[in-house]
Copies of this chain bind each other. A is one copy, B any other.
């Protein structure tokens, strides 16, 4: 296990790495120290050759309360705020642009920038009593950066209700809204997350990398351009070893033997 300020990184199974936000006393607030640690960790994991799937989770009572309000309060200068919000956006972009699938494992609350972090991950499983909110409006600070991530998963009227009232939604609602994939009793969450991570880790690493990258890119293109782009991606994918091996294995009814694990 490696520990840098407020974040613990550990391998929990073959190819599966857990990133634990470990600052329970601040409800795992995304202070600038924690954001920097997370950004460093994700950059490294996206580059290494062992990690296939990343799980992000929080220690203590819940996932994350979002920005650290004491830190926000202590700042005086405009440029300090700008720097903090840019750093936070850089972390979210690193997760989206990164090459490894990221699963958020959520218990307790995921609020404000914590909710943004959840929305930025590829997949989310939570406990059945988890809560999600963009409550900035209650403290006079609209959740403007969090809504960038959340509104790309939750449709407009639902998102607007969350933003304008600041009220939390429960796990059932979050699943209905498409913000999370599923929820489980607390005692089952770990096993469910691990099982999902193992399923993904069993695939060709190369294929997953190509696919994740292409997914978010094509999502921002008009239809025709998206087809041109992904036709090229699929051709590249087909020319690589793992697709030929995978198709051969399927036709021959045997397990594939991935080269680029």
Which residues of A are in contact with B by a Cβ distance under 8 Å? 69-70, 72-73, 75, 78, 81-82, 85-86, 88-89, 92-93, 96, 101, 122-124, 136-145, 147-148, 151-153, 155-161, 163-167, 178-181, 196, 199-200, 203-204, 206-208, 210-212, 214-216, 218-220, 222-224, 226-228, 230-235, 237-240, 242-251, 256, 258
A235 touches B161 (CB 8 A): no
**Whole-angstrom distance between the alpha carbons of A148 and B216 in the complex?**
10
In the complex where A70-B251, A158-B181 touch, is A238 in contact with B81 (Cβ < 8 A)? Answer: yes
> Which residues of chain B are within 8 angstroms of A223 by Cβ–Cβ distance?
93, 96, 148, 152, 216, 220
Q: Are the C-beta atoms of B124 and A157 separated by less than 8 Å? A: yes
Could you say which of B69, B178, B214 contacts A250, with CB atoms under 8 Å apart? Answer: B69
With A147-B211, A159-B215 known, 16 other A-B pairs at CB within 8 A are: A69-B251, A81-B234, A89-B227, A92-B227, A96-B223, A123-B161, A137-B208, A140-B245, A141-B246, A143-B211, A145-B231, A148-B223, A148-B230, A163-B215, A166-B203, A216-B223
Please indicate the chain B residues that have their CB under 8 angstroms from the CB of A247 in the complex. Answer: 69, 72-73, 139-141
Nearest CB of chain B from residue A96's CB, rounded to whole Å? 7
- The DSSP consensus for interface residues of chain A is helix
Please give the count of copies of this chain that the complex contains.
3
Q: What residues of chain B lie closer than 8 Å to A210, measured between beta carbons? A: 142, 144
Closest 8 CB pairs of A and B: A140-B246, A142-B211, A139-B246, A140-B242, A89-B227, A155-B178, A85-B231, A144-B230
With most chain B CB atoms within 10 A of its CB, the pick from A224, A238, A256 is: A238
